[in-house]
Amino acid sequence: MSSSLSSPMMQFLLALPALLAAMKANAGAASPIKEYTLDIVNGPVSPDGFTRIGVLANGTFPGPPMLVTKGDTLRVTVNNKLTDNSMRLSTSIDFDGIFTNTDNVFNEGSPFVTTCPFGPGASYTYEVPLGNQTGSYWYHSQLSVQYADGLRGVVVIYDPEDAQAHLYDVDDESTIWTVADWWHNTSVSGLAGYLATQIIPVADSGLFNAAGRYNTGPLTPYAVQTVTKGTRYRFRIINISARSDFTISIDNHTMTVIETDGTPTSPLEVNVLDVLVGQRYSVVVTADQPIGNYWINSILGGGNPAHNSNLNVTLGRGILRYEGAPAVEPSGPMTLGPAVPNALVESNLHPLVPIPAPEPDYNLTFVTNMPAGQTVWQINGIAYISPVVPTLVKILDGASTDADFNQTENTFVFPANKVIQVTFPPDPANELHPFHLHGNNFWVVKSNATETINTVDPIRRDVAGTASGGMILRFTTDKPGPWFFHCHIFYHFVAGLGSVIVGGPDEIRQQVHPTEGWDALCPAYNALPANEQR
């Protein structure tokens, strides 16, 4: 058989390299890669005026913000350069609230669930396609309580086609607000004290945009948010605390909620917003008051100040300063909020695009408790203890049922593409637990603050709090994988208040093909001396 350069097949073969190059270019255009490098170091930090050594990303607290766009792929290289053995020397990074596709679940960053931590001198690159997800998120160390030492920062996924863009004029890095609790002692000493006394360490200070004060401390300048009269601002409020909730208000101003944990929300006007650990909200604030300085009230909740004389819950605040106003603190008093509060009620939140909660295929009931005389938190009588072999490794090696995991792994296995309902009964002790589901979000069918059951248009989010009212959540296993489901008060979590939800073990084995870099993590971690595994 003869061929010629003019034959259709030969023309195709000659054109093939160019076609492949074009396809690669188009793929790159469809999913741009945004690269970040985090050098995790021990260095000085003093957000409230007290200088201590922390665990910091690129030497700063918070770490550098990751500002990306819908459709991007986030590629983050983390270099562990920790040296201070008074704190944990290994680390692992979780991207809180960001969905993870099944075929990429090994990049999810949960120690001993989806991965192993890595020690000093080691590096790992997380690659996370963001797909169509948008909204406000954050990253932090998921190892023990390490992020209380400073390893936390924000991730914002901007939406060029935001359906609510007409409601605001400004939405950029300058309008990201973080609230955080802060300790003068290390998380290692704090955890040791908690285990010995059953008293969770109370923060020394609360911080608004990485600035705050403590009793008898220096008059550290408050963070200032500058606004122009007549302009509408989208403020993204992200609680990057390890323990504390914050109650947010702005003197003489209202806030219109338009996003809840990444879910676009039907506009809801409030003047007080309670933000639990790990929760995020976007609010629109119009600069419509006389030019001047106004307190941003950021009131820390969580813990008895009698357990730490440094804490003054009113001192973790900021200043809303209009252009043209003098550079001074507001003349008004530091209050706890408006005299006539119109506080956010979670059950009043509804998605901009409602998706009804499907009927459950499986029902779980989670009863949380701490046995008398023990610093152990339990779900249904079991305290979670991290296994030596990560959950994902066990699944890839054949684990398929609850019985294939140790009881202390508190692991629940379900088929793929099912609906799971988790009911948290009311807690007579009124202990607050903000539960967070990794890699997914859930419908809040019943919120803690109401008895109303809403399956028509409940809010979807990934952190919701249960206490004396209890709550009911539903989620699907449409993204097969092992997902942490735990209290985001990390002292509770590390003391046992956690579980793992596994969806579709067969699908996991079919779809998950980890990289050599991931394969090397557990052998390297297991070979570390004990002091570096902490």
Q: Give the whole-angstrom CA distance, residue 184 versus residue 167.
A: 40
Report yes or no on 304 lying in a domain: yes
Structural domain of residue 432, as residue ranges? 362-503
The pLDDT tens digits of the residues spanning 178-205 come to: 999 999 999 999 999 999 998 999 999 9
Residue 126 scores a pLDDT above 60: yes
Mean pLDDT computed over every residue of the chain:
94
Whose tokens are 């403020």? That residue is: 235
Q: Give the whole-angstrom CA distance, residue 273 versus residue 450.
A: 17
Residues 304-324: what's their mean pLDDT? 95
Residue 502 scores a pLDDT above 70: yes
Tell me the one-letter amino acid at 290. Answer: P
Helices (H), 170-256: 187-197
Whose tokens are 């809403």? That residue is: 454
Residues 116 and 189 in one domain: no
Report yes or no on 521 lying in a domain: no
Report yes or no on 532 lying in a domain: no
The pLDDT tens digits of the residues spanning 225-281 come to: 999 999 999 999 999 999 999 999 999 999 999 999 999 999 999 999 999 999 999
Q: What is the CATH number of the domain that holds 87?
A: 2.60.40.420
Residues 321 and 420 in one domain: no
Residues 233 and 167 in one domain: yes
- Give the CA distances from residue 418 to residues 359, 398, 424, 441, 479, in Å, rounded to whole numbers and listed in that order: 10, 21, 20, 14, 10
Residues 309-323: what's their mean pLDDT? 97
The reported pLDDT for the residue numbered 152 is 98
The reported pLDDT for the residue numbered 87 is 97
Report yes or no on 510 lying in a domain: no
Residue 127 scores a pLDDT above 80: yes
Residues 252 and 266 in one domain: yes
Task: Print the SS3 string covering 36-84.
Answer: EEEEEEEEEECCCCCCEEEEEECCECCCCCEEEECCCEEEEEEEECCCC
The reported pLDDT for the residue numbered 30 is 56
The reported pLDDT for the residue numbered 3 is 37
Report yes or no on 515 lying in a domain: no
Residues 307 and 228 in one domain: yes
| Angle in degrees, CA 408, 414, 416, rounded to 5 | 140
Residues 326 and 197 in one domain: yes
Residues 126-149: what's their mean pLDDT? 97
- Give the CA distances from residue 165 to residues 7, 134, 159, 162, 171, in Å, rounded to whole numbers and listed in that order: 53, 13, 9, 5, 9
- Measured in Å, how far apart are the chain's first and last C-alpha atoms? 69
The reported pLDDT for the residue numbered 128 is 96
Residue 38 scores a pLDDT above 50: yes
Q: Give the whole-angstrom CA distance, residue 191 versus residue 488.
A: 15
Closest CA to 46 of 187, 170, 217: 217
Report yes or no on 528 lying in a domain: no
Q: Give the whole-angstrom CA distance, residue 237 versus residue 282.
A: 6
Contact 237, 289 (CB under 8 A): no
Residues 167 and 309 in one domain: yes
Residue 20 scores a pLDDT above 60: no
Residue 123 scores a pLDDT above 60: yes
Q: Give the whole-angstrom CA distance, residue 204 versus residue 185.
A: 9
Residues 455 and 320 in one domain: no
The reported pLDDT for the residue numbered 44 is 98
Residues 177 and 82 in one domain: no
Q: Structural domain tally of the chain?
A: 3
Residues 225 and 331 in one domain: yes
Contact 450, 469 (CB under 8 A): yes
Q: Which of 283, 314, 344 is the last residue of a domain?
A: 344
Report yes or no on 529 lying in a domain: no
* CB-count burial class (<10 Å; 0-12, 13-18, 19+) for 206: buried
Residues 135 and 237 in one domain: no
Q: Which of 146, 161, 176 is the last residue of a domain?
A: 161
Dihedral of the alpha carbons of 418, 445, 410, 513, in degrees to the nearest 10: 40
The reported pLDDT for the residue numbered 31 is 78
Report yes or no on 43 lying in a domain: yes
Contact 223, 211 (CB under 8 A): yes
Q: Which of 126, 161, 196 is the last residue of a domain?
A: 161
The reported pLDDT for the residue numbered 305 is 82
Contact 283, 261 (CB under 8 A): no
The pLDDT tens digits of the residues spanning 371-427 come to: 988 999 999 999 999 999 999 999 999 999 999 999 999 999 999 999 999 999 999
Residues 141 and 95 in one domain: yes
The reported pLDDT for the residue numbered 10 is 39
Give the lowest-confidence range in 28-42, 97-111, 411-425: 28-42
